[in-house]
A = this chain, B = another copy of it.
Amino acid sequence: MDRDILKNVHLFSELSESELEKIYSRCDLKTFGKGEMIFFDTEPYQGFYIVIEGSVKIFKISKDGREHIVHFIHPFNTFAEVPLLEQYEKIRNDEFTYPANAMSLEKDTKLILIRAGVFYDIVEKNKTMCLKMISTLAKRLRHLNVYIENITQDVPKRIARYILTEQIKIISENKDQIELPISKHDLAAYLGTIDETLSRALKKFQDDNVIEVDGKNIKVKDKQALVKIAAG
């Protein structure tokens, strides 16, 4: 791994060369296969991760066995920083587990593990990083707020919202065609539902001529209708 990769990580973008070097020399690079578990919510907390390549899902399993995906993490973003930060005041406490499970979604997901001690050393000396951390947390908080807002809505609404916000990314390239970046199973879990319900709802949209589904490809045929459903 090239050390300069660390510069792409927003959290580290304003560190000095020597600080980067310090982190680089003390972090672990790990590679995971598709579907491989990165950690369980039962295991002791070691530190947080940065995605370099591939993607990761963060999820919880409810007692009835259903999976609920809370985040997808893409390259240069971090995950599992929260226990670290929450513990800040009782620094270096050992008995702490991860708050959720994490699984690799792609064949060669490359991650960097930053151990708690390394992080504390840096953050204590670096206010900019501290502020960035705050900003990251705030964004995550907002994300969870949206998530909560969504799961209180019905499934078609959640799907419509998902498609519309996904589409925003694509529309900038002038297309009404989007490609799901994840499997339908993961999408269902992310939307807080199950495969069957998602499948049926998509079919209904198709029957109503709102979208056209072909595998992972979705073509929006009636954006107005979709917006209306999403707004509910």
Q: Is the CB of B99 within 8 A of A137?
A: no
Residue among A68, A138, A231 with the highest chain B CB neighbour number at 10 A = A138
**Cα distance A231–B100 in the bound complex, in angstroms:** 17
Q: Is the CB of B148 within 8 A of A144?
A: yes
Scan A89-129; emit 1 where CB is below 8 A from any B CB, else 0.
10000000001100000000000000000000000000100
Q: Is the CB of B149 within 8 A of A89?
A: no
Which of under 10, 10 to 19, 20 to 34, or 35 or more describes the interface residues of A?
35 or more
List of B residues within 8 angstroms of A168 by Cβ = none
Q: Is the CB of B86 within 8 A of A142?
A: yes
Can you name the residue of chain B whose Cβ is closest to the Cβ of A68?
B152
**Cα distance A127–B60 in the bound complex, in angstroms:** 34
Interface residues of A in 5-60 (CB under 8 A from B): 60
A178 within 8 A of B: no
Q: Is the CB of B232 within 8 A of A64?
A: yes
Tell me, rounded to whole Å, the shortest Cβ–Cβ distance linking A89 to chain B: 6
Q: Is the CB of B63 within 8 A of A231?
A: yes
**Cα distance A3–B83 in the bound complex, in angstroms:** 33
Can you name the residue of chain B whose Cβ is closest to the Cβ of A145?
B99
Q: Is the CB of A86 within 8 A of B135?
A: yes
Give me the interface of A with B, judged by CB distance under 8 Å. Answer: 60, 62-64, 66, 68, 70, 82-83, 85-86, 88-89, 99-100, 127, 130-135, 137-142, 144-145, 147-149, 151-153, 192, 231-232
List 25 contacting pairs A-B, 8 Å CB cutoff, sorted by A. Answer: A62-B153, A63-B153, A68-B148, A68-B149, A82-B138, A82-B141, A82-B142, A83-B138, A85-B137, A86-B142, A88-B131, A88-B135, A99-B142, A127-B130, A130-B131, A133-B134, A134-B134, A134-B137, A137-B138, A141-B141, A141-B144, A144-B145, A144-B148, A147-B148, A148-B151
